[in-house]
Chains A and B, each alone.
Chain A
Amino acid sequence: MGLSVFQTPLVVVFVVFAFLLFRSEPGLAQSLELESLRALVKGMEQQLQQALQRIDQLEKEKGAANSRVERVEQSVKAVQSAPSTLNPAIGMALDNVVEQRGKAGGDFDFRAAEIGISASIDPYARGYAIFNGSRDGFDVEEAAIVTTSLPWNLQARGGRFFADFGRLPKLHPHEYAFVNTPLSLERMVGGESKADGVELSYLFTTPFFLRGTIGGYNKLGAENERLDNNKTRSWSRFTYLGRLNSYFDLSDNHSIEAGTSLAYTPSLRMAGDPRGGRRALSGLDLTYRYQPLGSTLHQGVTVGAELFGNSERVERVSGVRRMFAAGGYAYAEMKLNREWSTGFLYDNAPSLISPGKKTNSYSPFVTWTLSEFNRLRLQYGYFDDQVREDKAERGHQVFLQWTTTLGAHSHGFANR
């Protein structure tokens, strides 16, 4: 009994203790849970706060972006409505040469600051002009209108332009593969085929490229002094041109281009020669190109040759006589890689008065193309001169040429 009396409070204490123990266990768990919940809520609050801040920031950025877009749109509208919007494309080629011409001496030759502009005139025509400033003065080299929508494969050109005679005569000197205009071209054509007049081209409907051109001009040749460009003349004293030009792909990588031209002046009256007489300048051009399609930037060979024939009455010591002179040039250029190319030019230039006398020149050259718009070229030339007209056209000659292009400057299809 004593044990039971003794035992009763013990049991009670045990029960109470157990009760408290078991009761306190869930209480502890709950408080832990609450704690973690509080932490979770706090974390979520923080995340929410950060998210709200980010939303605010994004809204600000969006607002800033929108205002930027608006500003860009405004500036685009402003540009579109500006009077300069329809201005033509403009560019400039700078061509400078430092040279040592045999016994004639050395020279810094500022050859060209050639400004070119071009734009569509309307749906029917395009206009372009090339103005050239050099130490010889300022000149309009070309200023012409070209039709863009004539029917029957026809295209007309009028104004001042490089007439469709031969291949090299149509190029501006800074576009040549070598430094100088070949003497044969200078003596026989008069440099570039510059002419005031009109011409009409027809693209034949053959499966291969075949184009014919007819033209009529005051005279042909930039340095042709036979006729005065500023005087009126009879129809027999204009120069008339005919040309056929064709091209064939021998394979994907090899091609050949050929052309034949005739510039005919029915009557060229000279002082002291009342008979006058016709002048016929003919040309034959041939170009072979190796352009490996997969590596045109790094490899390629061009071999070009042109033969000229000139028949006219010339004044000699023995009197005025009809003389026929033939000459021409041939060159080959090889691309070594994207930046370097090298080549060789041979030129055979007769005297028009004494065609038996010639100036033969041999000119190796090397070109360093820093970029598409910046080029340096070194050329050596040996001139074997029997004509003896100019000291600068004989002996050993060295040229260093620096040619650059600013802005949009392209001479289009002719410069291929």
Chain B
Amino acid sequence: MRTKRRKILSALLFSFLLTGFGLAQAQTIRVITTTPDLADITKQIGKELVDVESLTRGVEFMHAVPVKPSFVPKLNRANILAAMGLDLEISWLPALLEPASNPKIMPGQAGHIDCSTGVSVIDVPKSLDRAEGDVHPKGNPHYNLDPHNGKVMARNIADGLARNFPQHKAVFEKNLAAYVAELDKAIVRWQQMAAPLKGAKFVAYHSDWAYFAQRFGLQQVGSIEVKPGIEPTPNHLVALAQKMQQDKIPLIIYGPQSDRYPKQLAGQSGAAVVRLQSISGGAAETDSYVKFIEYNLKSLLSALKKS
């Protein structure tokens, strides 16, 4: 009787261990990203192996994301944190990482993926002085707007996932190759689509669009902000409107800022105003990285036609 009971117990224990092992095997990799762009790309590379969530929704101005304590438990439980880097998240992410008590996702650790690694950074300031506004010491951090950098982001994410979970490296590499091929195909289409934009001059609210302009041949000739992060003065707006009229600048681009000054400037200069997305996820038409680039291109083309 005792032997029988022992056998039953052993069987139960064994099955329990097996179930536990199975559960451990089936556990997905928890990835937290700072932007929906990175979440989408991570999903493309990690597929069913990853459970991804972005801290931002895609509508935020990335330099003014609220420091929400609800982000803390998410960061605490993450296996991996993928961030844009180049100080894009400087105003909110470091403040959340300390209470998150998760040493493995701190900057420099294996679980922290800096997706800007390998990006050809532009607008690196010649001098660091706040008289020049809210300058980014490491250069312009809005590199995601150039789809070629989408490939760099994908490579960094694949490398980061493989660094932490080498047993799935082959899967990540295979998915990366497929995603890069998809991006390459889209890039050829976008270059053709963007032909009418070549040489088009524009005024931007903030310098979010430098990488986008460089890739598709647009030319920024002024900004609504006096300096990065500094709101315009009436004199600055008057001078800008005059310059726009003189040089026949057809476009004003703004992003997650108020439409007050862009519309005022459009009224004075006759240029078309277009609101673009600086990260994906802000609307149904931009719920993936590929759709987001396409949305921006289409919006610009349609604005240029109207101007």
The reply to whether A297 and B64 contact each other, CB–CB distance below 8 Å, is yes
Closest to A294 in B: B59
Name B99's contact: one of A203, A257, A298 (CB within 8 Å): A203
Closest to B61 in A: A297
- Cα A294 to Cα B94 in complex, Å, equals 21
| Residue among A149, A208, A293, A412 with the highest chain B CB neighbour number at 10 A | A293
Number of interface residues of A (CB under 8 A): 45
Residues of chain B contacted by A201 (CB below 8 angstroms): 99
- Cα A137 to Cα B132 in complex, Å, equals 34
Shortest beta-carbon distance, A153 to chain B, in Å? 5
Name B101's contact: one of A155, A293, A416 (CB within 8 Å): A155
The reply to whether A249 and B70 contact each other, CB–CB distance below 8 Å, is yes
Closest to A245 in B: B69
Number of interface residues of B (CB under 8 A): 36
Q: Check: A136 CB closer than 8 A to any chain B CB.
A: no
Residues of chain A contacted by B12 (CB below 8 angstroms): none
Shortest beta-carbon distance, B101 to chain A, in Å? 5
Q: Check: B60 CB closer than 8 A to any chain A CB.
A: yes
Q: Check: A61 CB closer than 8 A to any chain B CB.
A: no
Residues of chain A contacted by B56 (CB below 8 angstroms): 293
Within 8 A of B (CB), among A304-361: 337-339
The reply to whether A209 and B70 contact each other, CB–CB distance below 8 Å, is yes
Shortest beta-carbon distance, A181 to chain B, in Å? 23
The reply to whether B134 and A372 contact each other, CB–CB distance below 8 Å, is yes
The reply to whether A338 and B73 contact each other, CB–CB distance below 8 Å, is no
If the complex has contacts A148-B106, A203-B76, are A413 and B98 also in contact, measured as CB distance less than 8 A? Answer: yes
The reply to whether B103 and A148 contact each other, CB–CB distance below 8 Å, is yes
The reply to whether A413 and B73 contact each other, CB–CB distance below 8 Å, is no
Q: Check: B72 CB closer than 8 A to any chain A CB.
A: yes
Residues of chain B contacted by A123 (CB below 8 angstroms): 103
Shortest beta-carbon distance, B207 to chain A, in Å? 15
- Cα A108 to Cα B98 in complex, Å, equals 38
Within 8 A of B (CB), among A117-156: 123, 126, 146, 148-150, 153-155
Q: Check: B266 CB closer than 8 A to any chain A CB.
A: no
The reply to whether A296 and B65 contact each other, CB–CB distance below 8 Å, is yes
Name B95's contact: one of A211, A252, A371, A413 (CB within 8 Å): A413
Q: How many A-B residue pairs have CB under 8 A?
A: 99
- Cα A208 to Cα B95 in complex, Å, equals 18
Shortest beta-carbon distance, B54 to chain A, in Å? 12
The reply to whether A155 and B99 contact each other, CB–CB distance below 8 Å, is yes
The reply to whether A296 and B64 contact each other, CB–CB distance below 8 Å, is yes
Q: Check: B196 CB closer than 8 A to any chain A CB.
A: no
Closest to B90 in A: A410
Q: Check: A206 CB closer than 8 A to any chain B CB.
A: yes
Shortest beta-carbon distance, B58 to chain A, in Å? 9
Q: Check: B229 CB closer than 8 A to any chain A CB.
A: yes
Q: Check: A382 CB closer than 8 A to any chain B CB.
A: no
Closest to A126 in B: B98
- Cα A298 to Cα B261 in complex, Å, equals 12
User: What is the 8 Å Cβ interface bit string for chain B, positions 101-126, against chain A (1 contact, 0 not)?
Assistant: 10100100000000000000000000
Residues of chain B contacted by A245 (CB below 8 angstroms): 69
The reply to whether A410 and B258 contact each other, CB–CB distance below 8 Å, is no
Shortest beta-carbon distance, B226 to chain A, in Å? 10
Q: Check: A247 CB closer than 8 A to any chain B CB.
A: yes
Can you name 30 A-B pairs with beta carbons within 8 Å?
A123-B103, A148-B103, A153-B101, A154-B101, A155-B99, A155-B101, A203-B72, A203-B99, A203-B100, A203-B101, A205-B73, A205-B76, A205-B77, A206-B73, A209-B73, A247-B69, A247-B70, A248-B70, A249-B68, A252-B57, A295-B256, A296-B60, A296-B66, A298-B257, A337-B260, A370-B230, A372-B134, A372-B229, A412-B98, A413-B98
Given A209-B70, A295-B258, A413-B95, 18 more A-B residue pairs with CB atoms under 8 Å apart are: A148-B98, A149-B103, A203-B76, A248-B70, A255-B70, A294-B256, A295-B256, A296-B61, A296-B66, A371-B229, A372-B134, A406-B130, A412-B94, A413-B96, A413-B98, A415-B95, A416-B69, A416-B95
Interface residues of A (CB under 8 A from B): 123, 126, 146, 148-150, 153-155, 201, 203, 205-209, 211, 245, 247-249, 252, 255, 257, 289, 291, 293-298, 337-339, 370-373, 406, 410, 412-413, 415-416
